[in-house]
Amino acid sequence: MFFRKITTKKNGKEYVYVKLIENYRQDGKVKQRVIANFGSVENLSSDRINYLIASLKKLHKEIQPQLGDVRITTNTTSTIKIIRSVLRQSPVNQAIQEIFGQKDYELIEAIILKSIAASETNQPIQEACKNLGFKAGTSLQYYNTLKRLGEDSNRFSLLKAGLKHCQENENIHKSIVIYTLQSTFEGNSFDYDLTGNMFLTQSFQKPITLMLACSTEGVPVDYQYAENDEEAIKKLSLFVDRLKSEFQGNIVVLDEHNYFPTTMSGCLIAKPMPEATVTQNQNQLFNVVTYKQVSPGKIKELKAKLAKVSAGLENLKADILLGKLTKESHVTKKAENVIKSNQCDELVLYSYEETTHSFHYEIDQAALKQKQESVIMTPWIIEGQGRDISFEKIQEVHRKTDQFDVLTDQLKIPPINIYVDYHYSPEVISGHIQLEILKTQLLGAMNTLLKGGEL
């Protein structure tokens, strides 16, 4: 179905009408017929068309299966179980219990687990958590819990826990690195039409300057965000003071955009080193290894290839169940052909048990992550060194900050337009930043656990 403008002439005057038309087939030919008349085009303002679009979207949501609904799979259940175990053994857990107490602990735990196991769902937080089997809570309870996570009064507890987490998993006693990122927080709001029924969803975007403190291995431990670059410059010294209160090593600020002077009290300022620059003091040089996602186009292409592999291997599985294929050599040959023809040799793992005719395959998530990342190494140099700082040589810094470029609303309970700035308050945005920090810490610990390491 589609809309079309139809022009007619009457008494020498042209009239333009809007009609809803559909195609249909009759006697082997495609024909068209009018389903509804929308009157003269003069009566259709842009606002009325927008409300019509919103109404159609609402109707589409009601009749279309929700692609964003949380689906519980074996993998989802397993991930939740592992992350919950990692969280409860982590130093972060003690800080969370101090902040939220026994009463609200299950709510914040549910938010953390949901943000890892089902971060892409479009369901409101209370529905998503209920579907995942977590504690039943209202949208307001979840909102206030995430807001409390972002309150300034809770920063020190979470910073202390983050540092302890890193000290247990890596060597962090020498340096912490501060990155300055141009980030965006994304949410949604809606508005009612004059009838009070149809609503028009609008995107909410808030650019922020995010200062992120990380270990040299790329694990975030604390943050400070500002509305603009000027505010970030003012807040840096406060940020450094907070870090120094809990950390005795060097604090190095990577000043990629020349926001800061070459010397500041309590920290070292590093700048990208121009090519062909010669320096006598090699102790001031270090490399920054940046891990960046490849272009969206390449990721889309990779996902399409994996979808083709999955379809091919599902057909192979069906042939095995129907008894068309039984010998291991035949199954292996077919599986290898499907995987190699789609250039997914290192991405898909499979196994076949001939005695039980059991075929299993899965995507190697670690290999997939490597395929989706590009690695860039750049030299940096300490520009100025304050007299109050004894600098210890840094060999290499690993920068893994992609996940902070765009922060997406995890609550999915959009407000009415006029309340959008109140709803997405500084504490709520801070709560999302802190949530991303906790996610990164826990996922790193989980990967260590799965590789056979200790938490």
- Taking only the tens place, the pLDDT of each residue in 156-202 is 999 999 888 777 655 555 789 999 999 999 999 887 655 555 566 78
127-162: per-residue pLDDT in tens? 999 999 998 899 999 999 999 999 999 999 999 998
pLDDT of res. 453? 45
- Rounded to an integer, what distance in angstroms lies between the CA atom of residue 189 and that of residue 169? 41
- The yes-or-no verdict on residue 248 having pLDDT over 80 is yes
For 92, phi then psi, to 5°, come to -60, -35
- Rounded to an integer, what distance in angstroms lies between the CA atom of residue 428 and that of residue 146? 6
pLDDT of res. 72? 66
- The yes-or-no verdict on residue 101 having pLDDT over 80 is yes
- The yes-or-no verdict on residue 346 having pLDDT over 90 is no
pLDDT of res. 25? 66
pLDDT of res. 392? 73
State how far the alpha carbon of 72 is from the alpha carbons of 79, 80, 211, 358, in Å: 11, 10, 36, 23
User: Which residues on neighbouring strands pair with residue 377, listed in sequence order?
Assistant: 289
| Cβ contact 161:92 at 8 Å | yes
> Is-above-0.75 flag for pTM?
no
5-59: per-residue pLDDT in tens? 888 888 888 888 888 887 766 666 767 788 777 778 777 777 777 777 777 776 6
- The yes-or-no verdict on residue 408 having pLDDT over 50 is yes
Q: Which residues of 45-54 are buried (b: 16+ CB within 10 A; e: fewer)?
A: eeeeeebeeb
CA dihedral 240, 246, 247, 251 (to 10 degrees): -10
Which bin fits 267, alpha (ψ -120 to 50), beta or left (φ > 0)?
Answer: beta
